[in-house]
Amino acid sequence: MRRAFINGKIYMNSGQFAEAVLVEDGVITAVGRTSEIELIAGDAERVDLEGRTMLPGFNDSHCHFYSVGVSLTSLMMLGCTSIAQCIEEGRRFIERNQVAPGRLISGRGWNQDYFTDENRMLDRHDLDKISTEHPIVVRRACGHVASCNSLALERAGITTDTPVPDGGEIRRDAQGNLSGILTENAIALLDCLEEPPTDEEMERTLRAAMAYAASHGITSVHTNDVKNDNAERMLSLWNRLTERGESTVRAYHQCCFTNIEGLRSFIDAGYKTGQGSDMNRIGPIKLFIDGSLGARTAVTRQPYADDPRTTGVLCLTQAQLDELVRTAHESGFQVATHAIGDGGIDMVLKSYEQVIGQGPNTLRHAIIHCQITDMPLLERFKRSDITAQVQPIFLHYDMQIVEDRVGHDLAMTSYAFNTMDELGIHVAYGTDSPVEDLHTINNLHCAVNRQNLKRQPAEGFNPAECVTLEQAIDNYTIGSAYASFDEDKKGRIQPGYLADFCVLDRDIFAIDTSEIMDVRVDMTILGGRTVYTRA
C-alpha cells in the first residue's frame, strides 16, 4: 500500500516542518514539500491534509490499556463531587444495565478530595445504600484503594479475623469494625469475586480500548495488562487480535509480577524484553514499591504533613525489591517500577544502582510516575541514566493536594518536568489511564501550562516547571519510543520510520498555549492505514 499525505504542516523536529510524506508498506519512504512528493508518488493514493498539522502518533508510556476497555462498560464515579452523587451514580448504573441480583458490580473513579458533602473515603455503608443485593467493589481513581459493600466482604470471606497481607491494609472504623476499605496488596483478597470473562468478551473489551485510543491520536501504548495470574491468557488475547490484523495500536507489555516465584516462572517460560513484533512485544518487568499520593499510600521519607501518623504503604521491602530487580536484570529483562513518593523513589534507585553499577543502563530500567522528588534524587536519575515515565495529567488533581501532603518546599521540587528535561533525563509521557483519561491533548495542556482542566491557576502551578510544546510532544513520541528501544523507527516523521501519525484540526504550534485544550484529533494513521477519522 502506497499513500501520499500532502498539503500539510508536518512536524519533524523543533522548528522543522515539511508539507508531505510518502508511505509504502507501513514505512515512511520520503518527506518533503508537496511538489517533491508528488514527483515521486506515482500511483500512490493521495490524502489531502488541507493545511492541517500532522504529528507522530502519540505513544502512551504507561497505562492499563485493557482496563481502559473495562472502564468503558463499568461503574464510573470519575467526576463525582459528593458521596451522595456516587450513591446515585451506582443506583443509576444498576437500573440502566438491568444488573441481576447477585452479579458483581465493579468500577472506579471516586476521589474523596472532590467530595463536598463529607471529605472521607467511600465505605461499606455508603455502598450498601447503592445495593445490598449486589456485591460492589469500586476503586479510588488512583486504583490503590478499593471500597466494597457488606455483601462483597461477605462473599470474599473477609472478616475481622482475616490476616492482613503484607504491603496492604484492611481498614476498620473507630469501633473496630470493617470499614469496607482495602488498600494496596490487600485488594487482591477481592479477586475471588471476579467472574472470568469469555474470550469473546475480552476481545470486545480490548477493541473498545483501541477505538478510544485511536480517537485521541494514540498509535502505541506501554501497557500493564499482563500480571501474575493472567499472563498466558492476556498475551493470547493480544496475539489473536494481532495475528488477525485487528489491532489498531502497537503494544509494549509491562509485565507485572509481585513475587519472586511468579517472576521466575515467567522467565523460565522463555519470555524476554523485546520478544515479539512491532505490533505486539514483551517489554519490562513491572514492579510496585508504593501506592498513591491521594490515598496517602505513596512512601515518603518524612511523615505526611497532613497526617504525621503515616509515611505511606510499602508494597515491597528493600530486600524483596532488590531480589526482583536483580533476577530480572540478570535475565536480560528491562525493569519499570511504580514509585510515587520520594521514599519509594529512593528505594528503587538504590536497587537499580546496585545492578547498573558504574556501567551504562543498557536495559533502560525506568521509574514510573516519579512524582515527589528533590534535586539529589533527580541527579541520581541522570547519573544512572534512569528513564522517567511521567504523567503530566496528574497535575490536574495533584496540584490541589501536594503541598498539604508533603509541604511547600518538597512540593516545589516535585512534578519537575522542566528540570528533568534540562538535566537531560530521558522522559516519556503517559496517562496511567484509566487512573486519568487517555486524553492526549489534555495531557499536553498540563505539561505546557501546568494548569488543571479548568485552566487554573492562571499563572500555572510552579510555572518554572512548564515545558515547551515541542518538548512535550517529543516526550510523548520519541521519548516514549526510547523507553521501548524504538527511537530509531518510531516517534519521528522521517524516512525509515513507521508511518504512525495523527492529524489535528488546527495548527497547535500557531495558537496561544491557553488554547491547547481546544485542539481535536481529526485522523489517526497506523502503519500508513487510517484507523480513525473524526465524524
In a domain, 471, yes or no: no
Residue 115 and residue 187 in one domain: yes
Using one digit for the tens of pLDDT, what is the confidence trace for 5-56? 999 999 999 999 999 999 999 999 999 999 999 999 999 999 999 999 999 9
Question: Would you say the C-alpha torsion 244, 246, 252, 256 has a positive or negative sign?
Answer: negative
Residue 381 within any structural domain of the chain:
no
CA distance 505 to 514: 16
221 in a structural domain = no
Backbone φ/ψ region at 98: left (φ over 0), alpha (ψ -120 to 50), beta = left
- The total domain count for the chain is 2
Query: Per the domain annotation, does 484 fall within a domain?
Result: no
- Of the candidates 171, 193, 215, which is a domain's last residue? 193
Structural domain range at position 159: 104-193
Domain boundary among 168, 193, 218: 193
Q: Is residue 65 part of a domain?
A: no
Residues 6+ apart with CB under 8 A from 204: 69
111 plus 51 within the same structural domain: no
Please give the mean pLDDT across all residues of the chain.
Answer: 96
In a domain, 482, yes or no: no
pLDDT digits (tens, 9 = 90+) for 224-282: 999 988 999 999 999 999 999 999 999 999 999 989 999 999 999 999 999 999 999 99
- What is the domain-level CATH number for residue 132? 3.10.310.70
Q: Is residue 94 part of a domain?
A: no
Indicate if the alpha-carbon torsion angle 433, 437, 441, 446 is positive or negative: negative
Q: 335-339 and 280-288: which strand pairing?
A: parallel
CATH code for the domain in which residue 505 is found: 2.30.40.10
For position 173, what pLDDT does the model report? 94
Tens digits of per-residue pLDDT, 141-152? 888 999 999 999
Instruction: Specify burial of residue 408 (Cβ count, 10 A radius: 0-12, 13-18, 19+).
Output: exposed
Is 175 inside a domain boundary? yes
Strand pairing class (53-56; 529-533): unpaired
Q: Domain end: 193, 208, 228, which one?
A: 193
Is 110 found in the same domain as 39?
A: no
Please report which confidence band the pLDDT of residue 79 belongs to, taking 50, 70 and 90 as the band edges.
confident
